[in-house]
Structure formats: C-alpha cells, structure tokens
Structure 1
Amino acid sequence: MSAQPEHRHDQHAQHDPQEILAALPPHWRRQFQQEYEDAVQAALRPESYRLLQEMLHRWWLKSIALADPGFDEAARRAGDGTAETTPIGDVVPDWEQRVGRARARR
C-alpha cells in the first residue's frame, strides 16, 4: 500500500492547482491538467472567471474522495446499484418539509 498525500484543509489549498495535483492519484492527473488548462483559457473572459474557481474547488473535493482507498469500490457499487444506502428521510428528519418549501419557492 502506498502512502497518500495528506490533504491540507485551508482555503488556499482548495484553489491551488499544485496542491490539487499533488493530492490526486497519478492516473487522474492528466485529466485534471487538461480541465485546468481549458478553465484557465476560459477564465481570460471576465464572465467565465468563476468557472475556474469552481473547477478547482470541484477537483479539490474529488482529490479528497479519490484519496480514500475504498473509493473505487464504493463508486462501482453505487453505479451498479449494489451499494448499501440509507434513505435521505432517515438522515434528514424534515426532508419532506424541506422539499415542499423548495418547490413552493419555484
């Protein structure tokens, strides 16, 4: 088993492409780099700048998930419907009321 990089949980690390790249397993780095380059190019347009920040944040979260040794198996099980799940109403007691309020706001 290889050691995984420890994640820094500060605001700077979440938006630092070098920190994200270092935290990713090697086989995900190429995809990150391509998406990063695309987002940097898009960010040259002022209306697309936030997309770069959102992309970096999304990949930071992904790097945390991918560092979990059980992630690939859990993702496979979620995809094929064999994962053990808990209904959201069991976790969030007022879920139905929240959904009702959200629908009413539309």
Structure 2
Amino acid sequence: MSAQPVHDDSDPEDPAEILRVLPEKWHSSFLDDYHAALEAAHEVQHWGELRLLLRLWRLRSIAYSNPEFERSLLEASRARPGSGTPVPGLDDWK
C-alpha cells in the first residue's frame, strides 16, 4: 500500500475559510463588509472589489489570529519617532 499525496482543495479566499481562521470578535466586521461587497458585485464592474475584499480579509485573518498581533499593534501605536529599534546592520550601509 502506498501513501497518496494529500491535496488541499480549500480556497484561502473562500469566505467560510476566512471565518474559520478569523478570531470570532472580527466575524461581524468581516460579514458586514462581505455582504456589502457581495451586494455591490451584482453590478459587473464591482466584481473585482469583492475579490479584493476577500483577499484583504484573508490577510487580516492571518494577522488577527496571530497571538502577538494585539501586543504588536499596541506597541506600534505607542511608538514615537526615534523610539524604535534601529535596523540591524544599518550603520554598515553608510
């Protein structure tokens, strides 16, 4: 008996997949945006906007599901010019 390769046929931009990855507190925001874009997509010229929305929410779902996201967001919002860690090796470029 030989092992068969596993094929993942899931589409990462499928709304159900986005909801699966997205933390629950973001579900209503996603669904509001999705339903508005879906309604607009009935007009042919807006179809691309639906695809873009799904792509953006897929990326958000990855970020928002990262346990470090909230802490990183808070740190970034408190950062002031000159308070950050310089890029390692930056002085070597001068």
Q: Does TM, scored on the shorter chain, surpass 0.5?
A: yes
Instruction: Provide structure 2 residue ranges, at least 5 long, that are not aligned to the other structure.
Output: 1-7
More helix by share: 1
Could you list the structure 1 runs, at least 4 aligned residues long, displaced by more than 3 angstroms after superposition.
82-87
Indicate the SS of the match to 2:11.
helix
Q: Which amino acid aligns with 1:46?
A: V
Compute the TM-score of the two structures, normalised by the length of structure 1: 0.66
Distance 1:42 1:29 in 2: 20
Distance 2:39 2:75 in 1: 36
Note closer, same or farther for the CA distance 1:74–1:43 as it changes in structure 2 (3 Å cut): same
- Aligned-pair identity in percent equals 31
Bigger RCO (CA 8 Å, 6+ sep):
2
Instruction: Provide structure 1 residue ranges, at least 5 long, that are not aligned to the other structure.
Output: 1-9, 94-106
Q: How many residues align?
A: 80
Q: Which residue in 2 is equivalent to 1:61?
A: 59
Compute the TM-score of the two structures, normalised by the length of structure 2: 0.74
